């Protein structure tokens, strides 16, 4: 299982369970027992924090179109750019277990950073993620 698979499951979940407010997400997956905090890169933390506070502007990149290739088309962009302000921002983690229900844990970015700063470890476990103010998403 990869983060690409997680993205597909999460996208389908959100289509059926739309949030009531604007939210921003960074997705992480592991098949181990813990996730290193540094898997969430500094620029991703900054983007999530900016989404909650001063605002995050992002231009959606134009995708190349190559003629005479088997897949020489791109999905149309919904628009050129966006600015997210006062959103709720989350790190969403999945401790993948084969043949077990998909349980994603949604953690506010500030709670993630508090855990990182105060737990005395370089990684966190599923139990640690569940012990803070997080939300479990049961993905079908």
Number of domains in the chain: 1
The pTM is what?
A: 0.89
Other CB atoms closer than 10 Å to residue 9's CB: what's the count? Answer: 18
* Helix spans in the chain (H): 3-16, 42-52, 109-118, 126-131
127: domain range?
Answer: 3-139
Question: What phi and psi values does residue 85 have, to the nearest 5 degrees?
Answer: -135, 140
pLDDT in tens, the chain (140 residues): 899 999 999 999 999 999 999 999 999 999 999 999 999 999 999 999 999 999 999 998 877 666 666 655 567 788 999 999 999 999 999 999 999 999 999 999 999 999 999 999 999 999 999 999 999 999 98
Judged by DSSP in three states, 51 sits in helix
């Amino acid at each position: 299982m990869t983060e690409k698979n997680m993205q597909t499951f999460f996208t389908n979940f959100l289509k059926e369970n739309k949030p009531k407010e604007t939210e921003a997400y960074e997705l992480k997956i592991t098949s181990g027992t813990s996730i290193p905090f540094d898997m969430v890169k500094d620029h991703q933390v900054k983007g999530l924090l900016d989404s909650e506070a001063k605002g995050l502007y992002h231009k959606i990149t134009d995708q190349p179109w190559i003629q005479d290739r088997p897949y020489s088309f791109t999905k149309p962009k919904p628009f050129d750019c966006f600015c997210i302000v006062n959103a709720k921002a989350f790190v969403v983690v999945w401790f993948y277990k084969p043949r077990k229900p998909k349980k994603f844990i949604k953690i506010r970015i500030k709670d993630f950073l508090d855990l990182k700063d105060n737990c005395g470890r370089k990684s966190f476990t599923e139990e640690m993620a569940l012990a803070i103010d997080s939300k479990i998403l049961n993905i079908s």
